[in-house]
Amino acid sequence: MAPQDRIAQVSSHLNYPQGLLAGQVAIITGAGQGVGAEAARLFANEGAKVIVADLDAQKAEGVVKAINDAAPGRAIAVVGDVTDPAYPKKVVEKAAEFGNGKIHIIVNNAGYTWDGVIHKMSDKQWNTMLAVHATAPFRLVQAAAPYFRVKDGVQRVVVNISSTSGIHGNPGQANYAAGKAAMVGLSKTIAKEWGPQFGVRANTIAFGFVQTRLTAAKEAGAFITTPEGEKIALGIPTGQLSKKSGDGEKEQYPDIPLRRPASPTEAARSILGVVSPLFSYVNGQTIMVTGGRNM
């Protein structure tokens, strides 16, 4: 039995009877699909009340419905654009109302890529990626400050979702890499400012190859539509994806010691682990979730 299957098998024993996040209120941005949606589901299963924040109303409501169909009253959707300066306040207000005046967890997960080589990258490409991956997380954390700077002895956690691009750089992603690198500095600063008096933990998770629309073949046609109506193609060109040492399954990912990418559920489990009490003494760290790539 594969390790990930064994985890699913025994998960019900780990959270009996209330769950690792019982009584917690969590905001997860970009939770309409992919890793964010899986994190929302896992958090709810562990007893949290979850705010599914996403630009796509249909997808966000779909995630909420699936969670609440299993057990009612565990999730709500707050739809909007993370780069809208008014949106963070809206999310925080709805979360506090849903959580009876409490917010305990923020996962800054929303993001996408808009690739281009440095000498051809437009100001709009650069500024958009910084707005999504640096400014938006900062604004949400700032808006939630009154609910995190609290001396009540209850754990509160911020997790910023970065990428190996933000740690090592990546050709064609100067804008994305800069935004993801900014999240590392933001986490460390939150840990140093809010840890001493309020016990707030802040960590970064840097993902490697996770199977999402951002890592699928670009030719598959996935795209995101910006609030201005511009369509941005997502994914990796097939020519780059096909670089492998052989045709067998184990040879497809020679630079990953585990020889495979992560599933969205596996990636989401790492987020659950970091926000849980199991990581209560881990603070200000960048946790590489890469299957061993770049170690």
CB-CB contact of 201 with 156 (8 Å): yes
Residue 132 inside a domain? The answer is yes
Which helix (H) or strand (E) element contains residue 165? helix 164-168
Residue 244 inside a domain? The answer is no
Q: Which segments of the chain are extended strands (E)?
A: 25-29, 49-54, 75-79, 105-108, 156-163, 200-207, 223-225, 231-233, 286-289
**β-bridge mates for residue 50, sequence order:** 26, 75
CB-CB contact of 43 with 21 (8 Å): yes
pLDDT at 48: 98
Residue 253 inside a domain? The answer is no
Active site residue 176: yes
pLDDT at 89: 98
Residue 245 inside a domain? The answer is no
**Residue 190 belongs to domain spanning:** 21-212+260-289
- pLDDT tens over the chain, length 295 residues: 666 666 665 555 555 567 999 999 999 999 999 999 999 999 999 999 999 999 999 999 999 999 999 999 999 999 999 999 999 999 999 999 999 999 999 999 999 999 999 999 999 999 999 999 999 999 999 999 999 999 999 999 999 999 999 999 999 999 999 999 999 999 999 999 999 999 999 999 999 998 876 655 455 666 666 667 776 767 666 555 545 445 566 678 888 999 999 999 999 999 999 999 999 999 999 999 999 998 8
pLDDT at 224: 66
pLDDT at 277: 95
Question: Out of 87, 147, 176, 253, which one is annotated catalytic?
Answer: 176
pLDDT at 108: 98
pLDDT at 15: 57
Cα(103)–Cα(135) distance, integer angstroms: 21
Residue 232 inside a domain? The answer is no
Residue 190 inside a domain? The answer is yes
Q: Can you give the CATH number for the domain in which 189 is found?
A: 3.40.50.720
Residue 127 inside a domain? The answer is yes
151-189 burial, b at 16+ Cβ within 10 Å, e below that, comes to: eeeebbbbbbbbbbbbbeebebbbbbbbbbbbbbebbbe
**What number of residues does the chain have?**
295
42 CB burial (10 A radius; 0-12, 13-18, 19+): buried
Please tell me the total count of domains within the chain. 1
Residue 269 inside a domain? The answer is yes
